[in-house]
């Protein structure tokens, strides 16, 4: 099975859509693809967010109500982490 890696453009497209549900979601900084399950762990200026690869494939194909669920995964962090 071919694995497609998505970049900052696709991630920012999703972030722009979900900010209407949570305006506190910060700006994109970096991302990691988790080896075990392919989930994208997104580092933002003020926290983290997880995205599934299928959510990055085609933003137009995502039902509008799913953006609210994606926004609910946002985790705000107040302390800088050296994990990245």
In-domain check, residue 15: yes
In-domain check, residue 12: yes
The CA distance from 30 to 48, in Å, is 10
- What angle is formed at CA 66 by the lines to CA 54 and CA 1, rounded to 5 degrees? 10
Per-residue confidence (pLDDT) for residue 1, from 0 to 100: 41
In-domain check, residue 58: yes
pTM, entire model? 0.83
In-domain check, residue 63: yes
Q: Rounded to 5 degrees, what are φ and ψ at 71?
A: -60, -30
In-domain check, residue 2: no
Interacting residues of 8 by C-beta distance below 8 A, sequence separation 6+: 28, 31
**Domains: count for the chain:** 1
In-domain check, residue 82: no
Q: How many residues can be counted in the chain?
A: 84
In-domain check, residue 20: yes
In-domain check, residue 3: no
pLDDT (tens digit, 9 = 90+) per residue, 17-49? 999 999 999 999 999 999 888 999 999 999 999
Residue 70: give the domain boundaries: 8-76
């Amino acid at each position: 099975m071919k694995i497609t890696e998505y970049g900052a453009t696709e991630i920012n497209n999703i972030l722009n859509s979900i900010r209407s549900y949570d305006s506190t979601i910060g700006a994109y900084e970096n991302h990691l693809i988790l080896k075990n399950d392919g989930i994208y762990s997104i580092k933002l200026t003020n926290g983290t967010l997880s995205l599934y690869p299928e959510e990055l494939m085609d933003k137009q194909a995502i039902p509008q109500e799913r953006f609210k669920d994606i926004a609910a995964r946002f985790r705000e962090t107040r302390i800088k982490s050296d994990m990245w």
